[in-house]
């Protein structure tokens, strides 16, 4: 909603129209698409980038191109649904390691004599907000000659010192081989996804990746907005955001606070969220299949435009409603 971002979207709409009525390789590529791919490559310090209509598509389109039946993929059990679906589409042997469990990952890597080994993980996990042990993953990748793939949807633009994500957070300096991420969160919030990495991989995806080849290119207004975020507005928006979160973390009692829910009924999450909504606080109850069975929860989405008073009011409302539903004392 930043005025500069909205303006850039309008300008792209005026100049290029609502859409290009085409996939990228026919007549769906304009200068702004190449500009955005370049901006993203620079942002992550990678050779090249390929845009998709969403990160779901980016995840759906990568594994079957990279891995054949002689290969193996090692995937964290809590990876995002789109990674799981992407892996399903490939013919590689599939290993699912216990969430963030490096012993389990290592024993699975040890047991495999696959041609290419690929470790796939979320950088920041989408439902728990916890962070993958990326330095250990990179060490294991070196030890067993594996590639590292990280989905950075919940990190790009705000995690790490300058928003470059999990790799930057750990100071790993380009040890990750492939990054997939979204424009649908911090980088504009509209839609779009990408793979960024070595140019040989990106060239291969441009030739073969099915969601890229067989789906319309990202609409110009969306590209215009994302370009604006990645260029001029980026530091402003990120600064604003991280400063906001920093302030919230410093001052608010909501930090790391979880309410235990012994019976874990998904109905409870929905009912509590509805009561919050009745008070004008927009939070949403999540249950299976978005999270595993028995792990229902309420998602609270905070932005830099929230005030301390908003946060305090939310915490207070959670306390009162939690008591009413006998979730907290
Ligand atoms: N990967 C992760 C970890 C996500 O959280 C999401 C979206 O929520 C996606 C991929 C899909 O991104 P997109 O909305 O761009 O399809």
Check pLDDT > 90 for residue 254: no
Instruction: At 303, list the tokens.
Output: 């932005």
Give the active site residue among 94, 185, 295, 319: 185
**Domain spans, the chain:** 3-232, 265-325
Q: Quote the pTM value.
A: 0.88
One DSSP character per residue, 185-242 reads SSS-SSS-EEEEE-HHHHHHHHHH-HHHHTSBPPPHHHHHHHHHHHTTTHHHHHHHHH
How remote is the CA of residue 326 from the centroid of ligand 1, in Å?
Answer: 34
As a whole number, mean pLDDT of residues 269-275 equals: 93
What CATH number does the domain located at 3-232 have? 3.40.640.10
Instruction: At 297, list the tokens.
Output: 């929860």
How remote is the CA of residue 262 from the centroid of ligand 1, in Å?
Answer: 30
Per-residue model confidence (pLDDT) at position 150: 98
What does the alpha-carbon distance between residue 25 and residue 145 come to, in Å, rounded to a whole number? 34
Same fold, 3-232 and 265-325: no
- Backbone φ and ψ of 81, nearest 5°: -50, -35
Check pLDDT > 80 for residue 265: no
Q: Assess whether the C-beta atom of 154 lies below 6 angstroms from ligand 1.
A: yes
Q: Assess whether the C-beta atom of 95 lies below 6 angstroms from ligand 1.
A: no
What does the alpha-carbon distance between residue 63 and residue 90 come to, in Å, rounded to a whole number? 6
Q: Assess whether the C-beta atom of 122 lies below 6 angstroms from ligand 1.
A: yes
Q: Assess whether the C-beta atom of 166 lies below 6 angstroms from ligand 1.
A: no
Contact predicate 164/43, CB 8 Å: yes
How remote is the CA of residue 229 from the centroid of ligand 1, in Å?
Answer: 18
Q: Assess whether the C-beta atom of 58 lies below 6 angstroms from ligand 1.
A: no
Contact predicate 223/216, CB 8 Å: no
Of the listed ranges 47-56, 187-196, 297-306, the one predicted with least confidence: 297-306
Check if 185 is active-site: yes
Looking at CATH, the fold of the domain delimited by 265-325 is given as: 3.90.1150
Q: Assess whether the C-beta atom of 182 lies below 6 angstroms from ligand 1.
A: yes
pLDDT in tens, 303-320: 777 888 998 899 999 999
Name the closest-CA residue to atom 5, ligand 1: 126
Check pLDDT > 90 for residue 245: no
Give the active site residue among 99, 112, 126, 265: 126
Contact predicate 226/188, CB 8 Å: yes
pLDDT in tens, 115-127: 999 999 999 998 8
Check pLDDT > 80 for residue 189: yes
Average pLDDT, rounded, for the chain: 89
Check if 42 is active-site: no
How remote is the CA of residue 211 from the centroid of ligand 1, in Å?
Answer: 15
What does the alpha-carbon distance between residue 198 and residue 47 come to, in Å, rounded to a whole number? 5
What does the alpha-carbon distance between residue 241 and residue 251 come to, in Å, rounded to a whole number? 15
Per-residue model confidence (pLDDT) at position 328: 80
Check if 21 is active-site: no
């Amino acid at each position: 909603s930043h005025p500069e971002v909205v303006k850039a979207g309008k300008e792209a709409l005026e100049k290029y129209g609502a859409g290009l009525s085409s996939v990228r390789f026919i007549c769906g590529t304009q200068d702004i698409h190449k500009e955005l791919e370049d901006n993203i490559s620079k942002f992550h310090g990678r050779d090249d980038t390929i845009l998709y209509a969403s990160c779901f598509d980016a995840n759906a389109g990568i594994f079957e191109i990279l891995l054949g039946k002689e290969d193996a993929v090692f995937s964290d059990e809590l990876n995002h649904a789109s990674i799981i679906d992407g892996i399903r589409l490939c013919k590689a042997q599939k290993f699912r390691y216990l969430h963030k469990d490096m012993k389990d990952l290592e024993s699975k890597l040890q047991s495999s004599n696959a041609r290419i080994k690929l470790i796939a993980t979320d950088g920041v996990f989408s439902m728990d907000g916890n962070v993958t042990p990326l330095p250990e993953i990179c060490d294991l990748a070196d030890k067993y000659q594996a590639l590292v793939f990280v989905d950075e949807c919940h990190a790009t633009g705000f995690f790490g010192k300058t928003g470059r994500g999990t790799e930057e957070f750990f100071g790993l300096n380009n040890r990750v081989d492939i990054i997939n991420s979204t424009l649908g969160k911090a980088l504009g919030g509209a839609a779009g996804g990408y793979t960024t990495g070595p140019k040989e991989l990106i060239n291969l995806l441009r030739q073969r990746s099915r969601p890229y080849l067989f789906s319309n290119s990202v609409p110009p207004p969306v590209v215009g907005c994302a370009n604006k975020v990645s260029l001029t507005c980026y530091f402003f928006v990120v600064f604003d955001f991280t400063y906001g979160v920093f302030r919230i973390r410093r001052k608010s009692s909501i930090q790391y606070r979880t309410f235990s829910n012994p019976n874990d009924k998904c109905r409870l999450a929905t009912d509590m969220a509805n009561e919050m909504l009745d008070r004008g606080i927009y939070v949403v109850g999540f249950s299976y299949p978005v999270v595993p069975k028995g792990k229902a929860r309420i998602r609270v989405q905070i932005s830099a435009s929230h005030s301390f008073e908003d946060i305090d009011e939310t915490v207070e409302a959670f306390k009162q409603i939690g008591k009413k539903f006998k979730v907290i004392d």
